[in-house]
Amino acid sequence: MSTDKKTAVITGASRGIGLATAKKLASKGIDIAVVYIGSQEEADNAKKEIEAFGVRAEMYYCDVSDFEQSKACVEKIMEDFGGIDILVNNAGITRDKLLLKMDEADFDAVINVNLKGTFNMIKHTCRQFMKKRSGRIVNISSVTGLMGNAGQVNYSASKAGVIGITKTVAKELASRNVTVNAVAPGFIMTDMTNVLSDSVKEQFTKSIPMGRGGTPDEVANVIAFLCSDEASYITGEVIRIDGGLAM
C-alpha cells in the first residue's frame, strides 16, 4: 500500500470492537468512514471520539444486509473520501436459541447481517481495490465459526461462512495485491456478551485457558496489524483472538 493518506470503512463502528478498531486505525492517521445502524447519539459520540485523533470521521447510516443500501453507502463514501483503502466487516448480530426453538426468522436475520452483509460490502468495494492494485479487507468471524457453539446454529453458520468468503476472496484478489483476512475472537467484553447471564459468562471464563474474557482493544490491535503495511504478505488467514479458547 502507498504511504498516502488512507481511508478505512468499518461497519458497526459506533460501539464495541468496531469502535475500538476505528480508534486504533485513527491513532495511525487513517481517516474513518463508520457504517452504523443503531442510535444517532451513539454515532455522534463515536464520531467525536474518532476525530479526537486528528483524522476525518464520517458516519453513514446503512443496513449492511441490504444489497442496494450497501451499494449506495459505498458510493457515497467513495464520493466523500475519494477512495477506500481498508474495509473492516465488523457488523454482526446474535439471535441465540437452541436449534429446536430457533425459527426461520432468527436464522435468516443473523445470516443476512453477518454473512450477506460481509458479501455486500466486499462486492461493492472490491472493484476499486482491484483497479488500485492495493487494499486490505479484514472480516470479523468468531471462534464459534471454527468450533460451533450450542445455541448458536445461525451465528456459527454465519461466522463459518465468513471464513469461506475470506479464503475465496483472498484467492480471487491476491494477484491484485489485495489481502483478505479474518479474525476469530473468542469471548470479548462488549454489549453483545454483556446480555448473557452471569452463569453463562462464568462458564465461558472457566473454559478459557487464560481465565478471562478479551477486550475490544485486544481485537482491534490484531485487525490494525492486518490492515498495516507490515502484514503485506498475509492473506486468507484466520487469526484467533481468544485467550486459547478454541485451541
Max Cα distance, the chain (Å): 52
Min dist. Cβ of residue 54 to ligand NAP (A): 23
Q: Which residues bind ligand NAP (CB under 6 A)?
A: 11-12, 14-18, 35-38, 42, 63-65, 90-93, 113, 140, 142, 185, 187-188, 190-193
Question: Is 155 one of the catalytic residues?
Answer: yes
CB of 170 to ligand NAP, least distance (A): 19
Residue among 36, 60, 61, 155 flagged as catalytic? 155
Beta bridge partners, 95, equal none
Nearer to ligand NAP, 177 or 207 (CB): 207
Burial of 178 (0-12, 13-18, 19+ CB in 10 A): buried
Residues 6 or more apart in contact with residue 209 via CB below 8 angstroms:
243, 244, 245, 247
Give least dist CB 93 to ligand NAP, A.
5
**What is the distance between the alpha carbons of residues 84 and 230, in angstroms, rounded to a whole number?**
19
3-class state of residue 152 by DSSP: strand
State the Rg of the chain over Cα.
Answer: 17
User: Would you say 18 or 161 has its CB closer to ligand NAP?
Assistant: 18
Cβ-based nearer residue to ligand NAP, 1 or 26: 26
Closer CB to ligand NAP, 9 or 188, in the complex: 188
Show the cell assigned to 228: 498495516
* CB of residue 131 to ligand NAP, shortest distance in Å: 26
Query: In whole angstroms, how close is the CB of 199 to ligand NAP at the nearest point?
Result: 17
- Nearer to ligand NAP (CB atom), residue 35 or residue 165: 35
Distance CA(64)–CA(73), nearest Å, equals 9
Which residues are catalytically annotated? 155
